[in-house]
Structure 1
């Protein structure tokens, strides 16, 4: 017997929970006592019916308020929305929600003359400031704790799906980090014009989101610097500590696209007659072929940089990845499809 202890929702929490249920379904299945798939689909449908504004595709901050008159940029999760569309066989609807999310982010930056990626905590659908959040810090007009997750949300979309919209925003994040002098110079909150709110402390809530966005960069050292700063940055706050873990999931390749066919587990390509394992991999990646001939075997970074190349004629090939940093890489054999591998 369950007792109701509260009412109404916060859409950021619902989105995270729905995605977690999809991960659980794909990892453990839904034939046991817990039907993750049914619960995921039920929650996705509830979000659609109660937390997406009817007719506009705008994500509301909850089921009983907001929409075009007020939304939260850091709740916008285009990567999740694309997953929901495929998982629930409702692609057109959720693609529209994803597209609207980018419209809101870009309008917010443009209409408020924002520097780099610095969206406001709250805004209207046209990007201008909302008059419904007088209780928020600076009435929701700053890049503060409500906006801080935005780089991570968009980074997930880029990591999972690529695309120019996600890359453009992530690149603004990277440019901001460089303009500040590095990840160790990121402080907790800014005006939209880039003036720091408080430089007396640092917080993984902000640093980690930028570190996640760095996965879109072409410089691996830049990504590594973000990872290291996030890992070593202290906090006693539950919010920053929790987000550090989630950001590290993304940076280490453990916040993966659950519906991708090439994310985790042993991969097999029947057309090219090979398989590889283990995945995730710690040291050696083993590739097995059914026929022997010369093959070009390449490993790329998530940004497309060639990191390793071999030409082998053998039924079994071992690739040493022990010196690779933790993260996501792509295996390519004979210039066919890129297959995702996760280095732990």
Structure 2
């Protein structure tokens, strides 16, 4: 939107409603206090779309996305490392437009997972989200991250969050992994007046290591009772390392580290509504919807 009279985002001073120096308020969102973690996926098992960890080069992997063109509103690249190293991230203003790149088609059928890290600033009004889209044969296949109960996972604000999407999710929708043509991030449930800034890093396609196949992806979960007016019980045939519960606005309201197959979540102090539990195992994560009566 239009800046208020007298507002400036380039004077090196925190003023005119800014929440940081030349950021926040009427200006672009302030950057995260720390960068996303540097990825540890093996070079030979990784296809990098974006990974801002080397000066002058957006990838630290030998296999990368040599895009031929881009479309939409290009993000701003920022170095979030406070020292002499470089750890870049893209800042998207989804109140303006989405952004994507095209190339190929490229055969990515040997990769098992699509992943990225994001840090979302709170929406300027109400709630908003975004979607990651894989494209080929003129069709788009969406993975939506937002505040609604029908999204693939809930949006989390003001902390780095890792998204891991099995390639089978996209191929199950009809995506042809042998002819990867374009990708993009798009606004979701947003407008100019209800927008979010999102920082994104480490957009990667990876192969599962043959010795550590992701059994968590096929793990079975039981949540009971659901809806509940007191507690939820989560039972699984896989070990649960951590459970983080978020409300519909993406605020974390509970966290625990059970390291067991069974978890009890105390909801007695929760308000009625929809919540999301992000369940982390040793080899992956799942998100389940919880209803508090």
State if a TM-score over 0.5 links the two structures. Answer: no
Which has the higher relative contact order, 1 or 2, with Cα contacts under 8 A spaced 6 or more apart? 2
Given the two structures, how large is their TM-score scaled by the length of structure 1? Answer: 0.26
Q: Which has the larger radius of gyration?
A: 1
TM-score by length of 2: 0.29
User: Per residue, is there more strand in 1 or in 2?
Assistant: 2
